[in-house]
């Protein structure tokens, strides 16, 4: 007999506005404790020094985490010219210096070179595994892990303002696996300078933005009132915006729950599946709630992940 999880069957997303200095896992644990939820996970790690959106999946929403992590992300960050660090942020040790202070015109001239599919070497203080160990663990042992360049996508990069001679603020929109700290390092080097991040804030993750966010302190205060908490507990469907959806009847939903495919070749189904391609992910809905994440092919949908809530 399966062991029953402790806590309440809470299902949905809470978007935490993470404070500086906290790790992502402790935030997940705090949210789970505040809401007394049975299960929780997060949709994309934030460095401890970073602030901003940390989506927390609760209950059956944990089955949709990968779709959030695959989504587009946006960040604001501040670069300080003059010093490059091993971590590419203010917490790291100095590895190089430069007297070069790029002008606004010089910065604007190189930004387009970082937009599109680019190659990027992650910082040595990252969660990437090297010979079975996390790069940051090797770095803390005094070793210098060799990390290979990877293809990542930068959708947009904007200079927001030149704060003063030593600081400039930017905004970047990017895809999965993109390191803003590496971007800061590489941008400075292309300008013949050195720099590191002094601030990093995530302002968008997939379909979530700052309008959805709440701080841990606020969530803790509202936890005593179910109605207040409900305001910030977002439905699972919100995380899946942009993915094709099909509304099913009870019989079709039951088939998916049992791991069986659902045929969509009836005449009344043909308009609904127009435009779908083999291999497309499709959300199966019943009464507005997600029954399963499915894959389309050969005129049917087959369940990938079945949700029960």
Going by C-beta distance under 8 Å and a sequence separation of 6 or more, which residues neighbour residue 2? none
Q: Delimit the CATH 2.30.130.10 region(s) of the chain.
A: 243-306
Tokens 């079975």 belong to which residue? Answer: 132
Q: Delimit the CATH 3.30.2350.10 region(s) of the chain.
A: 12-70+207-239, 73-203
Check residue 303 and report its DSSP letter. Answer: E
* Paired tokens of 213: 């966010």
CATH top class, domain 243-306: mainly beta
In the prediction, which pLDDT does 262 show? 95
Judged on CB neighbours under 10 Å (0-12, 13-18, 19+), 288 is exposed
* Paired tokens of 88: 């590419």
Q: How many CB atoms lie within 10 A of CB 3?
A: 5
* pTM for this model (two decimals): 0.90
Distance CA 275, CA 272 (A): 9
Distance CA 153, CA 268 (A): 40
Q: DSSP letters of 150-179?
A: EEEEEEEEEEEEEEETTEEEEEEEE-TT--
Query: Could you say which of 3.40.50.970, 3.30.2350.10, 3.30.450.20, 3.30.950.10 is the CATH number of the domain covering 12-70+207-239?
Result: 3.30.2350.10
Distance CA 88, CA 86 (A): 6
In the prediction, which pLDDT does 150 show? 93
Regions of the chain short of the pLDDT cut 70: 1-5, 125-126, 130-131, 135-139, 141
Active-site residues: which are they? 47
Taking phi over 0 as left and psi of -120 to 50 as alpha, with beta for the rest, 132 belongs to left
Nearest C-alpha neighbor of 280 from the set 295, 300, 302, 263: 295
Asked whether the beta carbons of 53 and 89 are under 8 A apart, the reply is: no
CATH top class, domain 73-203: alpha beta
- The Cα angle at residue 51 between residues 50 and 54, in degrees rounded to 5: 105
Size (the chain), residues: 309
- The Cα angle at residue 36 between residues 30 and 37, in degrees rounded to 5: 95
| Chain centroid, CA 215 distance in Å | 17
Distance CA 78, CA 88 (A): 12
Listed in order, strand segments (DSSP E) in the chain are 12-18, 40-42, 51-58, 73-81, 83-85, 94-97, 116-120, 129-130, 133-134, 150-164, 167-174, 195-205, 208-209, 213-214, 245-247, 262-263, 281-286, 289-297, 300-306
Distance CA 71, CA 208 (A): 10
Per DSSP, the three-state class of 183 is helix
């Amino acid at each position: 007999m399966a062991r029953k999880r402790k806590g309440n069957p809470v299902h949905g997303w809470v978007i935490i506005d993470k404070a500086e200095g906290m790790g992502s896992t402790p935030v997940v644990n705090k949210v789970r404790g505040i809401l007394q939820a049975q299960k929780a996970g997060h949709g994309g790690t934030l460095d401890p020094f970073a602030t901003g959106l940390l989506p927390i999946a609760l209950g059956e929403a944990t089955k949709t985490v990968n779709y959030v992590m695959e989504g587009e992300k946006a960040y604001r960050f501040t670069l300080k010219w003059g010093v490059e660090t091993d971590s590419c942020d203010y917490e790291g040790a100095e590895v190089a210096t430069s007297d070069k202070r790029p002008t606004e015109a010089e910065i604007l001239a190189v930004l387009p070179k970082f937009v599109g599919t680019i190659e990027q070497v992650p910082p040595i203080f990252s969660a990437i595994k090297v010979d079975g160990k996390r790069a940051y663990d090797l770095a803390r042992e005094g070793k210098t892990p060799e990390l290979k360049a990877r293809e990542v996508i930068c959708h947009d990069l904007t200079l927001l303002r030149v704060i003063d001679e030593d600081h400039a603020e930017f905004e970047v929109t990017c895809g999965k696996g993109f390191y803003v700290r590496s971007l800061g390092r590489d941008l400075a080097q292309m300008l013949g300078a050195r720099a590191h991040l002094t601030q990093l804030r995530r302002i968008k993750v997939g379909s979530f933005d700052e309008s959805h966010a709440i701080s841990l302190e606020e969530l803790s205060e509202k936890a005593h009132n179910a109605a207040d908490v409900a305001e910030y507990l977002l439905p699972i469907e919100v995380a899946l915006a942009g993915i094709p959806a099909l509304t099913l009847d009870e019989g079709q939903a039951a088939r998916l729950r049992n791991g069986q495919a659902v045929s969509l070749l009836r005449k009344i189904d043909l308009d609904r599946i127009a435009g779908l391609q083999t291999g497309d992910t499709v959300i199966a809905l019943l009464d507005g709630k997600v029954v399963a994440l499915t894959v389309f092919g050969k005129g049917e949908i087959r369940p990938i992940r079945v949700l029960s809530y």
